[in-house]
């Protein structure tokens, strides 16, 4: 692995920040407003329960909506190649979760970082934007967040797209062993043992493990993620979420009950060499859901980095079958 220098991280991060701000400013230009509304990606921020929540929005507001929920350690930036594919036919919303990306990341003592609280913030975000019906794209941390939203709003969910978004214990690999040890004994010693989880080496591993052609991985993706991970105090935020992840496993039976009762149509698009969420986790959905399409891609955890065009095409085909 090539060492990511702090200077390089800062440079990429600054470039991303400038690009985001510039795009946001340009989108406020009134020239050709109607055309821009239909073709541009807008970078917005809204206040939700005292937090500034950043989100990307594209497509016509009257079109069917897709809510994209990112995972760890990334942000809505992970959808930068997917949104242009989807926005021609659909209304796309992609927020940064609290503690991630350009959304606020308050100190872990002033905001309790649990998946319940993160999902509660997303729920308020949904209500504030007035989203009545939408499909959800769930990935990594976005899976337990999105499935909590589905439990609370079954009438709103038109379909589920799970891209390495685990909901079954069969999907957990040995990479979770040290984390599960922390769940069983949340001592300071076991917490300290997980500090490498947010290191640049671990971030690089998440992006590259299982990828047959590493040249497809854009360096700005994992460098930007690491920039946010390295913010003062962020390591405690991430370790709090790692600790609370055990509550997601406790909710798996309720997620399965939701699947059985409401039978949402599902598209399962999975990197088959994901070091964290195994292919068995994708297959397990079919135990409870009758109407699913399952497709494996020869890639790792961040499948959109290598297969955005193919996944985008599969989503377009899937969305065309959903009720509005």
20-24, 79-83, 193-197, 226-230, range with the lowest pLDDT: 20-24
Using the CB atoms, write b or e for 228-263: b if 16+ within 10 Å.
Answer: bbbeeebbbbbbbbbbbbeebbebbeebbebbeeee
pLDDT band at 173 (very low <50, low <70, confident <90, very high): very high
Specify whether the CB–CB gap between 163 and 269 falls below 8 A: yes
Alpha-carbon distance 48 to 106, whole Å? Answer: 13
pLDDT at 32 over 80: no
pLDDT at 9 over 60: no
pLDDT at 25 over 50: no
* Amino acid 201: pLDDT: 97
pLDDT at 11 over 80: no
* Amino acid 323: pLDDT: 86
* Amino acid 35: pLDDT: 45
pLDDT at 19 over 60: no
Mean local confidence (pLDDT), 258-275: 98
180-189 pLDDT, tens digit each: 999 999 999 9
Average pLDDT of the chain is 91
* Amino acid 324: pLDDT: 80
* Amino acid 30: pLDDT: 40
Domains, in order of start, for the chain: 6-319 (3.40.50.1820)
Specify whether the CB–CB gap between 278 and 177 falls below 8 A: no
pLDDT at 175 over 90: yes
51-108 pLDDT, tens digit each: 999 999 999 999 999 999 999 999 999 999 999 999 999 999 999 999 999 999 999 9
Q: What's phi and psi for 290, nearest 5 deg? A: -85, -30
Specify whether the CB–CB gap between 82 and 304 falls below 8 A: yes
36-45, 85-94, 132-141, 264-273, range with the lowest pLDDT: 36-45
The residues carrying an active-site annotation are 301
Mean local confidence (pLDDT), 101-122: 97
Mean local confidence (pLDDT), 243-269: 98
Specify whether the CB–CB gap between 209 and 299 falls below 8 A: no
pTM, entire model: 0.89
pLDDT band at 2 (very low <50, low <70, confident <90, very high): very low
pLDDT > 70 fraction of the chain, expressed in percent and rounded: 88
Closest by Cα among 221, 262, 275 to 81 = 221
- Calculate helix-pair angle for 219-229, 6-26, nearest 10 degrees: 100
């Amino acid at each position: 692995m090539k060492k990511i220098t702090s200077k390089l991280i800062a440079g990429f991060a600054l470039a991303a920040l400038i690009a985001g701000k510039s795009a946001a400013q340009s989108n406020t230009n009134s020239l050709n407003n109607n055309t821009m509304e239909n073709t541009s990606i807008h970078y917005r921020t809204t206040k939700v329960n005292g937090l500034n929540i950043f989100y990307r929005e594209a497509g016509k507001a009257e079109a069917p909506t897709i809510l994209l929920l990112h995972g760890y350690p990334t942000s809505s930036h992970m959808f930068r190649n997917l949104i242009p594919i989807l926005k021609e036919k659909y209304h796309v919303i992609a927020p940064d979760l609290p503690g991630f990306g350009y959304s606020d990341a308050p100190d872990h003592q002033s905001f309790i970082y649990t998946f319940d609280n993160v999902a509660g913030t997303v729920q308020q975000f949904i209500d504030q934007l007035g989203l009545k019906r939408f499909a959800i794209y769930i990935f990594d941390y976005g899976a337990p967040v999105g499935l909590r939203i589905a439990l609370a709003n079954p009438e709103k969910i038109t379909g589920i797209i799970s891209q390495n978004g685990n909901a079954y214990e069969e999907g957990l690999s040995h990479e979770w062993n040290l984390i599960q040890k922390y769940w069983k004994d949340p001592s300071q010693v076991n917490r300290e043992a997980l500090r490498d989880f947010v290191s640049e080496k671990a971030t690089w591993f998440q992006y590259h493990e299982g990828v047959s052609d590493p040249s497809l991985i854009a360096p700005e993706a994992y460098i930007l993620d690491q920039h946010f991970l390295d913010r003062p105090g962020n390591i405690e935020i991430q370790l709090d979420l790692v600790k609370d992840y055990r509550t997601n496993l406790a909710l798996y039976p309720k997620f399965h009950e939701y699947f059985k009762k409401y039978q949402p149509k599902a598209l399962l698009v999975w990197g088959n060499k994901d070091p964290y969420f195994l292919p068995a986790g994708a297959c397990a959905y079919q135990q409870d859901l009758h109407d699913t399409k399952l497709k494996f891609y020869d890639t790792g955890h961040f499948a959109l980095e290598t297969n955005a065009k193919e996944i985008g095409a599969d989503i377009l085909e899937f969305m065309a079958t959903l009720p509005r």
